[in-house]
Amino acid sequence: MTTTAHTAAGVDEGTAPDILAIARDQVVDGGRGLDRDQVLEVLRLPDDRLTELLQVAHDTRLRWCGPEVEVEGIISLKTGGCPEDCHFCSQSGLFASPVRSAWIDIPSLVEAAKQTAKTGATEFCIVAAVRGPDKRLMSQVAAGIEAIRNEVDIQIACSLGMLTADQVDELAAMGVHRYNHNLETARSHFPNVVTTHTWEERWETLRMVGEAGMEVCCGGILGMGETLEQRAEFAADLAALDPDEVPLNFLNPRPGTPFGDLDVLPAAEALKAVAAFRLALPRTILRFAGGREITLGDLGAEQGILGGINAVIVGNYLTTLGRPAETDLDLLDGLQMPIKVLNDTI
């Protein structure tokens, strides 16, 4: 005889517990993220449960992060010519890719920060395509931050590759609010993506950044040939790191790179992944970064923002065109999602 008594997860005994019922109980109500095996179950859900999954992810985000959406702008201080071989990246100098090494000057940097602030963004991230900063880059960053501070009211983030302990201290002393360094993918898949440095080297930079008191921003790229198991492993890796922000990118295969011929992630799979990462990381700022236009099309932003995302990058991405800032800001307005204001984030 089977019993119909309900468990805490709201499922009948004698049947396999449903992962979304578990997620409602554990994540939405309890605030405890899904573990690796649970994330894998979510990633394996059939497409006809996608709407239900997005709703659970959206409820998680509203409950533990609130309705605000954080807006960020990014600028590339130094583009192209990087000595590393990240197989997705058109800024590597090792591939037949079109991005040449180039620097922007300080007045252009300040102008970009001003334009970013005008969109309502609270965070302005200075990015350089390097393995790690040298003396010249550190002094450019210091000069840039000082010039921005004198004219623009915005928090400054940096993404300058792997850091030494001294460089971490220098950036903290400059008042850098958040540091971005992506683990990119699961530890077990990383050697298939990058051979010129290790996942552990990246992890070490992130550890030092967090210890120095800067906010940690760490995400990666989905759709680089990883298995669903490795995608779940990556979500668990990030949950262990517990970053303040996770930017999620979808591979936009760039001609000339080793991953130039990979297929674009199907939209349903991409949305499932976004929701699964939200359920693994209930409190983090989960940001749509690059590649979403080709993966998700026009509807993607709306479904993502109603499926766990609570931050967007406005304007151009680093090497490929994103959507115009106004498109994203109009969308947030239409969805009645307030933009997080600067005073709330200090």
313 binds ligand SF4 (CB under 6 A): no
Report CA-CA distances (Å) from 284 to 46, 103, 170, 241. Answer: 26, 32, 26, 11
Q: What minimum distance in Å lies between the beta carbon of 92 and ligand SF4?
A: 4
Identity of the residue, 201 or 298, whose beta carbon is nearer to ligand SF4 in the bound complex: 201
C-alpha atoms less than 13 angstroms from C-alpha of 266 in its C-beta half-sphere: 6
Is 99 a binder of ligand SF4 (CB under 6 A)? no
- Listed residue (267, 269, 247) closest to 317, CA to CA: 247
Binding track over 36-75 against ligand SF4, x by CB under 6 A? ----------------------------------------
Q: What is the DSSP string of 144-207?
A: HHHHHHHH---EEEEE-SS--HHHHHHHHHTT--EEE---BS-TTTGGGT-SSS-HHHHHHHHH
Q: What is the largest CA-CA distance in the chain?
A: 76
The first and second tokens of residue 97, run together, are 């890719």
Query: In the bound complex, what is the minimum distance in angstroms from residue 72's beta carbon to ligand SF4?
Result: 18
- At 250 the three-state DSSP class reads strand
Q: Which is nearer to ligand SF4, 161 or 247 (CB)?
A: 161
Residue 161 contacts ligand SF4 per CB under 6 A: yes
Q: Is residue 125 involved in binding ligand SF4 (CB under 6 A)?
A: no
Could you say whether residue 224 binds ligand SF4 (CB under 6 A)?
Answer: no
Alpha-carbon distance values, 114 to 137, 144, 160, 209, 263 (Å) = 22, 13, 21, 27, 37
Cα(219)–Cα(246) distance, rounded to whole angstroms? 5
**Is 160 a binder of ligand SF4 (CB under 6 A)?**
no
If one asks whether residue 158 binds ligand SF4 (CB under 6 A), the answer comes out as no
Q: Which of residues 86 and 214 has its CB atom nearest to ligand SF4 in the complex? A: 86
Q: Which stretch binds ligand SF4 (CB under 6 A): 83-91, 262-270, 280-288, 292-300?
A: 83-91
Handedness of CA 201, 204, 209, 210 (dihedral sign): positive
Q: Is 89 in the site for ligand SF4 (CB under 6 A)?
A: yes
Enter the tokens of residue 142: 């210091």
Nearest distance, CB of residue 162 and ligand SF4, angstroms: 8
Binding status of residue 91 toward ligand SF4 by CB under 6 A = yes
C-beta closer to ligand SF4: residue 61 or 254? 254
Q: Is 238 in the site for ligand SF4 (CB under 6 A)?
A: no
If binding is defined by CB under 6 A, does position 82 make contact with ligand SF4? yes
Residue 92 near ligand SF4 by CB under 6 A: yes
C-beta of residue 301 within 8 angstroms of C-beta of residue 270: no
Q: Does residue 84 touch ligand SF4 according to CB under 6 A?
A: yes
The residues of the shown chain that bind ligand SF4, judged by CB under 6 A, are 82, 84, 86, 89, 91-92, 129, 131, 161
